[in-house]
Amino acid sequence: METPYQNHIDKADFDHVYEPSEDSFLLIDALEKDLEYVKAKNPTFCLEVGSGSGVIIGAFGMAFPYTICMSTDINFKACIMTKQTASFNKVILDSVNMDLASLFIDKKFDVIIFNPPYVVTATEECRVNDISDSWAGGVKGREVTDRLLHMIPKKLADHGVLYLLLIEDNIPVEVIQIMSMYGFKSETVLRRRVRNEQQLVLKFYK
C-alpha cells in the first residue's frame, strides 16, 4: 500500500492535529499485510474512526478505489485535514466531525479502522477538546476504545472486519474478551516494539 502524500500540510498544523507516527504506519502495514483478505471481502463501505491527518484512510482509499470511504474525528481540524489529504491523493471520501461512529444510524461498514487515543491517563485528561484528545486514553488507555467496541455490533456488517491498534498497557486480552462476548473472533495481524511501547494491530471478525 502506498503512503499518501502529505506535502500539503504545514508542519504547524500538527500543533492541532495528530501527526502520523509509528502507530499510524503500523496500522497501514497491518492493512497491507492483510490486503488479500480485505480484497476478498470486496468492501463497499470503509470507515476510519479518528482519522487525524487522514494518512490511514487515504492509504486505504488509494488501494481500494471502488470502496466508499468515510472517516470521523472529534477534532474538526482533523476532519478538514483528512478531507484535504484525500483530495490531494485523488481519494473520494466523506469526513465527518462526530464522536466515534455515533451519528451513523442504521449504517453498517464492511471495514472499520481505529487507531485510538491509547495512552493511560487520568479520566479527566480525556475529551478536553485539544490535541491531547489524540492520545489521552483514560483508565487502561481504553476509555475511548471501549466505547467504540460496544458500538461495533451495530456498525460492522456481519462479514465485516475491525482493525484496532492497541498497546500492551491497554490489556489486549480484555479487549478480546469483550469482543468475544459479541461473537467476534480475533487475530493479531502485526506487532512492533516502539521505544518502550509494544504496539499491536488486532483484527476482529465473525
Ligand X SMILES: C[S@@+](CC[C@H](N)C(=O)[O-])C[C@H]1O[C@@H](n2cnc3c(N)ncnc32)[C@H](O)[C@@H]1O
Please give the residue ranges that form the binding site for ligand X (CB under 6 A): 18, 20, 23-24, 49-53, 55-56, 72-75, 78, 99-100, 115-117, 133-135, 144
The dihedral through the CA atoms of 69, 70, 75, 76 has a sign that is: positive
Q: What distances in angstroms separate CA 174 from CA 102, 105, 143, one per listed residue?
A: 23, 27, 13
Measured distance CA(102)–CA(93) in Å, rounded: 18
Cβ-based nearer residue to ligand X, 42 or 54:
54
Give least dist CB 151 to ligand X, A: 11
Count CB-CB contacts under 10 A for residue 34: 18
Place of cell 487525524: 52
Give least dist CB 177 to ligand X, A: 22
Give least dist CB 135 to ligand X, A: 6
User: C-alpha cell of 48?
Assistant: 476510519
Cβ-based nearer residue to ligand X, 51 or 89:
51
Cβ-based nearer residue to ligand X, 20 or 160:
20
Cβ-based nearer residue to ligand X, 42 or 198:
198
Residues forming beta bridges with residue 199, ordered by sequence position: 167, 192
Cβ-based nearer residue to ligand X, 4 or 160:
4
Give least dist CB 29 to ligand X, A: 12
Measured distance CA(74)–CA(108) in Å, rounded: 20
Measured distance CA(21)–CA(194) in Å, rounded: 10
Give least dist CB 54 to ligand X, A: 8
